[in-house]
Amino acid sequence: MIRLGLSGGIGAGKSTVATTFIERGGYHIDADKIAREVVEPGTEGLAALVEAFGPDILAGDGSLDRPALAAKAFVDEEQRTKLNSITHPLVGKRTQELLDAAPDDAIVVQDIPLLVEGNMAPFFHLVVIVHADAEVRIQRLTTARGMPEADARARIAAQATDEQRRAVADVWLDNSGSPEDLAAAAAALWDERLIPFDQNVRSRTAVRGALTLVDPDPSWAAQGARIVNRLWAVVGDKATAIDHIGSTAVPGLPAKPTIDVQITVADLKVADALVDVLADGGFPRVPGIEADRPKPDPATGSVDEGLWGKRFHGSADPGRPVNVHVRPAASPGRAFAIDFRDWLRADEVARREYAEMKDKALAGAGGDLTRYIAAKEPWFDDAYRRIAEWKRARSDS
């Protein structure tokens, strides 16, 4: 089962996207609706609110008078925390009930206006943000929904910023055109990305990135950060570190359009215990890759084959190829991945040399990934020694 987080500022057009997803078979969980349900008359939620804030938060008919509650709860941090400590657990419990009731083969669409404000992005397989500029949203809210302009502006000002939403968006749906345009983009996203993503999670199939070198993409750092955050949510305290590594972690370096991430674990037993967790989280294991190519210790020249074991996972999301290297803390390959990245970040000459070597390796590989990787190995063996020197020089100075 994959879970999609859908969000966007008020008036951005989430409803259009949610409707399209539901029409295509999405299992919709509406956070706004749940937030209303848990404080309906007769609920423990409403009783708790009255207990905390007094009976004058009730309207004449016994239902919650939202403006009256807001006037009491949004005065300071303490009151706000008091409100959230009542409603959040109830919303969480109800959401979990609905998740438990979802069919096994569902693609779950969690429609959450405050997804960004609540730091929930890492808990979804994919985050889709619907966007329209604030002035466009104000125009739509005041006409189509009849909201007073001052209210619309105040609501927008109280929510996350566009930059905050951009930082967590795996998919950014622009709604500056017509509702039909937006619905068509949402339908294409569903058919071309979510359906195959879901099938890949089910069949535990990792997608393969294209074997091609592309110009550095300034968004790689943010993409890496999103994947790192998501992996933390998936593996929790089983990891001791999770890092964006490889060429996409080096600004200005051409790279294969695949994000490399390293999960550091205590040992390979922990790595093996994470196989199912990672697969369910959207990162299925790629079988057959069980070690890095051992390299001689630069100090002694000896090779310790036993230290180089790893596990390797990919991404089930056809829109975002990822290599996930799961390495034990004691693996020299683990340290090398971090040092190599830092060396390339620091050394412009090394960066250019590596980029040229990759070009040549690709040209000679005839489209074969194994040959491409093999062609790079001698240069890496040399880099392994050079980086050891670079580190020594750095620690001496």
> Can you give the binding site for ligand ADP, defined by CB under 6 A?
8, 10-16, 130, 140-141, 144-145, 175, 178-179, 182
- 225 CB-near residues (< 8 Å, 6+ apart): 167, 244
H-helix or E-strand containing 379? helix 369-396
CB 182, min distance to ligand ADP, A: 5
Comparison of 26 and 314: residue with beta carbon closer to ligand ADP: 26
Q: Can you say whether the dihedral through the CA atoms of 32, 19, 105, 326 is positive or negative?
A: negative
Angle between helices 332-346 and 348-365 (to 10 degrees): 110
DSSP single-letter state for residue 249: G
Cβ closer to ligand ADP: 79 or 142?
142
Which of 132, 207 has the CB closer to ligand ADP? Answer: 132
Nearest residue (CB) to ligand ADP, 141 versus 383:
141
- Residue (111 or 260) nearer to ligand ADP, CB: 111
Residue 355: other Cβ atoms inside 10 A: 18
Question: In 3-state terms, what secondary structure has residue 360?
Answer: helix
Query: Closest distance between ligand ADP and the C-beta of residue 228, in Å?
Result: 28
C-alpha 135/C-alpha 384 separation (Å) is 54
In sequence order, the β-bridge partners of residue 3 are: 108
Cα–Cα dist 206/226, whole Å? 18
What residues pair up with 277 in beta bridges, in sequence order? Answer: none
Smallest gap from residue 185 Cβ to ligand ADP (A): 11
Q: Which of 119, 116, 67, 64 is nearest to 86 (CA)?
A: 64
**Nearer Cβ to ligand ADP, position 186 or 383?**
186
Q: Which is nearer to ligand ADP, 79 or 139 (CB)?
A: 139
Q: Closest distance between ligand ADP and the C-beta of residue 179, in Å?
A: 4
Torsion-angle region of residue 366: left (phi > 0), alpha (psi -120 to 50) or beta?
A: left
CA distance readout (Å), 159 to 79, 114, 116 = 19, 8, 9
- Least separation, in Å, of the C-beta of 128 and ligand ADP? 12
Shortest Å distance, C-beta 207 to ligand ADP: 30
**Minimum distance of ligand ADP from residue 12's CB (angstroms):** 4
Q: Using alpha carbons, select from 151, 163, 96 the residue that is nearest to residue 123.
A: 96
Assign 174 to helix, strand or coil: strand
Rg (CA), the chain: 25
Least Cβ distance, residue 118 to ligand ADP (angstroms): 16
Cα(269)–Cα(258) distance, rounded to whole angstroms? 27
> At its nearest, how many Å lie between ligand ADP and the CB of residue 120?
16
Q: State which residue, 176 or 203, has the beta carbon closest to ligand ADP.
A: 176
Is 174 or 347 the residue whose CB approaches ligand ADP more closely?
Answer: 174
Residues with Cβ within 8 Å of residue 159, at least 6 apart in sequence: 9, 10, 113, 114, 117
